[in-house]
Amino acid sequence: MSDKFILYTQLKNYFEYLCGGGLKLQDFLDKENRDLDDIVNCFILILGLTLASICVFNFHNYLYWPANKLPSFTVGPYHPSVFATLKNKNSLQKHKSDICKNGRFYFSFLEDGSYDAEFFIESGHSTKLKLKKIKIVKQGDKFTPDFIDLSSLVDISFRTFDKPISNSIVKGTIEMQNNGSKVSFTWTTDDNGTYSTLLPECKFSINVEGIVDGRPVKMNEVIDILTSDVINNLEELKYIKPRSFEISQKCTNYNIKSKSEKSVLLIDVSRSMTGAQLDIAKNNSKKFIAESDKFAIGAWSYSIKFFSDSWGTSSKISAANSWIDGLCSDGHTEIKQAIEEAITKFKDADEFWILCDGDTDAFPDLQSWSNFYSNNSKYIINFVGIGGLSDERMKSMVQISRGKFIKVS
């Protein structure tokens, strides 16, 4: 067997290996003897295919191999409409990237150096809304910082006649606190009457229009979004809840849903809580304990009283309902004393729900509430503002206490 044929056979085997046996060099191997041109042409063919396979292989690696092999950084909280631009001070070019579902941004082709990174959210806004600007440094396959805290994740829901205002238009403006600039928006609520977005510190004015059971509904609300809590890493991000607001009109169901094992409900029974308003609060309190694993109930005006000094379970629901039925309105509101005594009595609680028709004067400003909560930050404290005069301050207080605000009017 000639050396030429051995060379051809080796090339044939390699080619079949490269192409999975799908292609053959049979036309070149019909005869044992080939001239030099045939060998050269065959070699060029194999070399070309080999180079092509390397290119395809590397491109495949870029697209599909593990993401941690590519230069990237993570942001949070995640929202699908976020995008980022990076610009080096020595260049006029801006590099843009959309966020991936894993919350990461990939800028693989950037040169090493320092960049101005800006983050925006655009969907539904008249113009892109800037969330944050920060310096970021690329060195090799790493970015510093590799995690960036963006803004507050905000959920806002609308209900009327005890039903969600679903698939409806929400319009309004976002007024930035840092420079007073305004961005208008047009959103659409989901099936649950909710819209979720990211917002920086701002004044958030909302108008919603929809149809519920054939009846047109309109609602307006203004919410001050406070500076977001600092998130330092992915581990902390796991425990961040959206800032949640629910605006209800002409509803008898407060829609209180506790996901905690041990929840305390505190009911305002001051002199202003009378008639139908108190009756609705009682009915919602019964619903709350029926859906809770372990519950405690307190009612306060000038002082606070509790159904029991221990946790209630399903075996105590009947007795608790009778206790709720016996509540009467009287006196003025001592909300701070009520919360303090409840925390002292139920130290192992997970969260508190405060049903109140408006008076939070015991906390004259947000700083006093922030100071109070800093000593009780293991708890989630939610507020249900009952009636059209419910204190607007509650909407800011829940942002500090990691809770939810429900306005019922």
User: Tell me: the pLDDT tens digits for 40-64?
Assistant: 666 666 676 666 555 544 544 444 4
pLDDT at 230 over 90: no
| 223 and 258 share one domain | no
**Residue 34: other Cβ atoms inside 10 A:** 18
Q: Give the CA dihedral 28, 34, 35, 41, nearest 10 degrees.
A: 20
pLDDT at 86 over 80: yes
Residue-level pLDDT at 231: 86
pLDDT at 125 over 60: yes
| 296 and 362 share one domain | yes
Q: Give the CA dihedral 10, 13, 16, 18, nearest 10 degrees.
A: -70
Least confident residue range of 108-112, 221-225, 371-375: 108-112
Does any domain span residue 210?
yes
SS3 294: strand
| 283 and 368 share one domain | yes
> Domain containing 357 — which CATH number?
3.40.50.410
Residue-level pLDDT at 22: 40
Residue-level pLDDT at 409: 82
Q: What is the mean pLDDT of the chain?
A: 85
What does the alpha-carbon distance between residue 342 and residue 139 come to, in Å, rounded to a whole number? 53
Two tokens at 139?
Answer: 């060195």
Does any domain span residue 267?
yes
The domain total for the chain is 4
Does any domain span residue 402?
yes
Q: Which of 109, 130, 149 is the last residue of a domain?
A: 149
What does the alpha-carbon distance between residue 211 and residue 220 come to, in Å, rounded to a whole number? 15
Q: How far is CA 173 from CA 18, 168, 197, 202, in A?
A: 60, 17, 13, 10
- Is there a contact between 225 and 152 (Cβ–Cβ < 8 Å)? yes
Residue-level pLDDT at 79: 94
* Full-model pTM: 0.79
Return the higher-pLDDT residue of 82 and 241: 82
| 271 and 287 share one domain | yes
What does the alpha-carbon distance between residue 46 and residue 73 come to, in Å, rounded to a whole number? 40
Residue-level pLDDT at 334: 83
Determine the average pLDDT of the residues in 72-92: 92
| 131 and 184 share one domain | no
pLDDT confidence bin for 377, thresholds 50/70/90: very high
Does any domain span residue 275?
yes
Q: Which of 149, 184, 218 is the last residue of a domain?
A: 149
The rounded percent of the chain whose pLDDT value lies above 90 is: 57
| 214 and 92 share one domain | no
Query: pLDDT tens digit string along 283-313?
Result: 999 999 999 999 999 999 888 999 999 999 9
Parent domain of 200:
155-229
What does the alpha-carbon distance between residue 272 and residue 329 come to, in Å, rounded to a whole number? 7
CA angle 109, 115, 120 (to 5 degrees): 90
Q: Which of 115, 130, 149 is the last residue of a domain?
A: 149
Nearest to 221 by CA among 200, 195, 240, 190: 195
What does the alpha-carbon distance between residue 328 and residue 173 come to, in Å, rounded to a whole number? 42
What does the alpha-carbon distance between residue 181 and residue 236 come to, in Å, rounded to a whole number? 31
Residue-level pLDDT at 66: 52
| 282 and 366 share one domain | yes
| 277 and 355 share one domain | yes
| 322 and 180 share one domain | no
Query: pLDDT tens digit string along 308-356?
Result: 999 999 999 999 999 999 999 887 778 999 999 999 999 999 999 999 8
| 57 and 74 share one domain | no
| 15 and 86 share one domain | no
Query: pLDDT tens digit string along 380-399?
Result: 999 999 876 666 789 999 99
